[in-house]
Structure formats: C-alpha cells, structure tokens
Amino acid sequence: MSTVSLPAVQQPQQVLVAEPTPSPRYVSRGSREFIRPPISFTIKLSPHHYRNQQAVCYPGAVLEGVVSVTLKEPLAAQHLKLVFKAAEKLNYDTLGWDSSKPEGRLFGVRTLLWGTSPEVTGPMSSLWTVMEAGQHSFPFVCELPLVNYPPSFSHHLVACTFSLIGSIERPGERPFQTAPLNLQYHPILETCPLKVPKPYNQEIKLSHSLTARVSLVNTSFNILEIEKIPIEISFCGQTDPTKLTPAITHVELALKRFMKISRGPFYRNEAVLISRVERRLADKDNLYLLQFNVPLISDNTNLKTTATLNYSHHLSLSYQISVSIKVRHGPFMTTKRLLCVIPITLGTLPAGGRTPSDMMVFTESRVVHDTTLLTKPKFMRPIEYSPEHQLPAYDSHRPPSYHIHVQNE
C-alpha cells in the first residue's frame, strides 16, 4: 500500500527530535506496511530522580524524563502515549474475600508524545503517522499533586504500585509497550513535631537487686535518613555486674512490622520480622552499658521497610521493637523473657518538619470525588532551552568565569 504525504498538522504534545523537522508521512489506518517492532523502547527519568538505583517520587515532585524509541525500519502507528498510573490492590483470591466490587485504582493519567489523538476527526482519522527509522527521543514532564498516597508496598496479600508505561498504539493491532518503570513513592509524613525529640527510658525490675534500663534517643525516625536505630541497655543494682542474678546469657532486639488489611467487615493481621540483633553476654562485657544498632533495612531484599501508614482505607502499617533476654537456669535450661515493647514511628521528614498546609490525603472526599486534574498528576510541556541559555562547558577542576555587567545610569 502506498504512502500518502499530507501537510504537517498541529498535534498535541508532539515532540520531534530531528532538526529541521521533515513533513511526516502517513499510511492508511490498519496498513500492513511498516509493522516491524522497535529495536529498543524504554523510559528513563533524569538522574536526580534515582536513589540507590531506584526511581523515587513524592508529593509535589516534578518528574522529568525521556521515552526513547530505536527503529531499524519505519513504523506506522496512531500515536505514542505515556501513562502514569498507581493502584492499591488486594489479593482477594488469597485473602478469600468477596471481590465482586474490585477497588484499588488511585489514578491513571496519560499524554500523547507523538502521532494523532484517537479523538481526531476528518481525513486524519483514517491515517496513521509513520515514525522514520533511527533513534527518537520524546522528553516529558509530569508534576505530582500535593496528595499523600500510600507508600510503595509489595506483599503477596496487598500491593501499592506506581509506574510509567509507554505504548505505541495501533488500533486493531497489538500495541508495542515499554517495560513498566516502577517508582518508589514516598509520602510526606511528619516524623516528630519536636525538633529535639524526647528520649525514651524504661526500667524493668528483674529481681530484688537487679534492674534493666532500656534507652533510646527517641522513638521517631526519618526513614530516608537513617538505616539503624541506636539502643542502649544497662543492668544495674548489683555490685558485681559479671555475676548477675538471674543469670542473663543473651540480649535480643527485634524490629517487627505489623500489617492490618481490611475491607468492609473483613480484616487480616500479620506480623513480619524486619531485623534482629542478638548478643551473647561474655565476662568482658560492660553490663552497665550495652550498645546496639537495630537495622531498619531487612536482609531480605524483597522485604522493603516503608513509612508508618495509618490513612489508607485498606492497609495500615506500624512498627515495634521488642527487647528480650535469655536467662540460664542451671547447666542445661534457659528461658526467654520479654523486657519491653517499644512502638516506633517512621516518617519521611526531619524532626520538627511539618507537612505543607495544603497537603491532602488520597482518602479525603475532595480528592476521591474530584473530577479535575487538580488532585491528580498532570503532564506538562517540556521546556526547550536554547544553546545561548546553557552554561559553558567546564570540568570539575576549573569552573567557568562569570562577569557581572553593571549599566551606569
């Protein structure tokens, strides 16, 4: 089938790489000409959006990136679209709950980066645009609203996901799609209202002459700044700390995450061990001051520690540190005794940091029933900078010279 050349038309959010831009070619809709899939089709965000090689986002963030397409041969399609979507999904089959009204979509927005809109009418509605062979880059910008969604979370019972997907659409044919670019979403959550948090101290009577003291500098932590929680434990009340009564042989600290999944009258609770620290006490240990660091990050790479969550309809997450000791009774028998359980709050702001006054939560009525894009992510047209507005090239050892011109009046 022969191609048809038509005058260039204005297409929404179309970004072309080649300069100067040639007149696009068109073929009839459904044409079997130019159907080879791309050699490469990827999405990549700007480097500053990555943390530990993971793409991250948060309320109010402005995502900048590029969709890249490499073609060995020309490809005809209706358009190239980019979709940003998020969902909070329950695994109803595993939970054994009724799923007659599946829920979970948080948002789904899209933009066209190339081609014609499916809503176009007239002669263009029966034509597909031809993307020529070569490398094509389509920059995009997306601004997230000041809305706290649940943090990214992966579990066999429930998952909260945020992803970008590019798709070359050919109605009537299978679309070509990128692999999803999964983003780690961090809500903006207060950690502690005080700039100098109150320390935690608790004393536990073990016997008439022995007391254990557990101390933390605070119980609220910014999950984006620290990796370990420092804890001090001391045993006092006896003149000789190497001969404790009762005979304590081990100290164990465990960080656990408590998850509650609910939907209507149904709910399910589950506790997961995040990390554990155990020390066998030796004669050389200074039992007046034992120092521990409890990791916030699990050795299990599939088990991600997220912020405390208490504003979702279906999922809540909380954390506790339990402190236990092992006591020897005679030469062969030991027992385990729980000393205390410490609730831990994990936020994403420094101590004393407050959330913006106009911050919203995704479960609020004004967000749930909003039919506009005011509470949803929105794509914006990328800004193209001309060469004269760029900084001059320089290396790390010799930055460029800057001169200030002052005009005399």
Query: Which of 185, 179, 136, 113 has the alpha carbon at shortest distance from 382?
Result: 113
- What 8-state DSSP symbol labels residue 367? H
- Residue 270 sits at φ, ψ, to 5 deg, of -150, 135
pLDDT at 64: 97
C-beta separation of 142 from 181 below 8 A: no
H helical segments located in 286-375: 365-368
CA distance 43 to 65: 7
- Give residue 100's pLDDT band: very low, low, confident or very high (50, 70, 90): low
Look up residue 125 and give its DSSP letter: G
Range 311-336 average pLDDT: 89
Asked if residues 376 and 370 have their Cβ atoms less than 8 Å apart, the reply is: yes
Q: What is the mean pLDDT of residues 357-367?
A: 93
pLDDT at 132: 95
Q: How far is CA 40 from CA 14, 19, 359, in A?
A: 20, 22, 39
Q: Which two tokens stand for residue 110?
A: 């899209």
Distance CA 128, CA 116 (A): 8
- Reduced to 3 states (helix: H, G, I; strand: E, B; else coil), residue 29 is coil
Task: Tell whether the model's pLDDT for residue 387 goes beyond 80.
Answer: no
Residue 189 · residue 355 · CB < 8 Å: yes
Query: Residue 151 gets which letter from DSSP?
Result: P
The more confident residue out of 407 and 341 is: 341
Query: What pLDDT does residue 301 have?
Result: 77
354 burial (CB, 10 Å; 0-12 / 13-18 / 19+) is: exposed
Residue 391, class by beta-carbon neighbours within 10 Å (0-12 exposed, 13-18 middle, 19+ buried)?
exposed
Q: What is the DSSP string of 91-120?
A: -HHHHT---SS---EEEEEEEEEEE--TT-
Q: Is residue 222's pLDDT more than 90?
A: yes
Q: What is the pLDDT of residues 111-158, one digit of tens each?
A: 999 999 888 877 888 899 999 999 999 999 999 999 999 999 998 888
Ordered alpha helix ranges (H), 262-373: 365-368
Average pLDDT over residues 180-204: 93
Q: For residue 162, what pLDDT band results from cuts at 50, 70 and 90?
A: very high
- With CA atoms as reference, report the closest residue to 187 among 218, 160, 165: 160
- Mean pLDDT, to the nearest integer, of 167-194? 95
What pLDDT shows up at residue 388? 54
pLDDT at 244: 59
Asked whether the predicted pLDDT for residue 18 surpasses 50, the reply is: no
In one letter, which amino acid is 101? K
* DSSP structure class, residue 41: E
Greatest mean pLDDT among 50-54, 234-238, 346-350, 397-401 lies in 346-350
User: What pLDDT score does 138 carry?
Assistant: 96
pLDDT of residue 4: 40
Residue from 26, 118, 108 nearest 79 by CA:
118
260-281 average pLDDT score:
90
When pLDDT is cut at 50, 70 and 90, the band that residue 63 belongs to is: very high
Q: Give the CB-side neighbour count of residue 185, counting CA atoms within 13 A.
A: 29
d(CA 273, CA 256): 4
Phi, psi of 215 (to 5 degrees): -135, 135
pLDDT at residue 332 above 90?
Answer: no
Over 80: is that where the pLDDT of 266 sits? yes
More confident site: 239 or 160: 160
Question: What is the pLDDT of the chain when averaged over all its residues?
Answer: 85
Q: Which domains does the chain have, with CATH numbers?
A: 4-185 (2.60.40.640), 200-347 (2.60.40.640)
Residue 163 scores a pLDDT above 70: yes
pLDDT value at 233 more than 60? yes
Buried b (16+ CB within 10 A) or exposed e, 64-77: bbbbbbebeebbbb
Residue 278's contacts (CB-CB under 8 Å, 6 or more residues apart) are 250, 251, 252, 253
The whole-number pLDDT of residue 341 equals 97
Pairing of strands 54-57, 184-185: parallel
Condensed to tens digits (0 to 9), the pLDDT of residues 72-93 reads 999 999 999 999 999 998 887 7
User: What pLDDT does 93 receive?
Assistant: 72
pLDDT surpassing 70 at residue 224: yes
The residue type at 159:
A
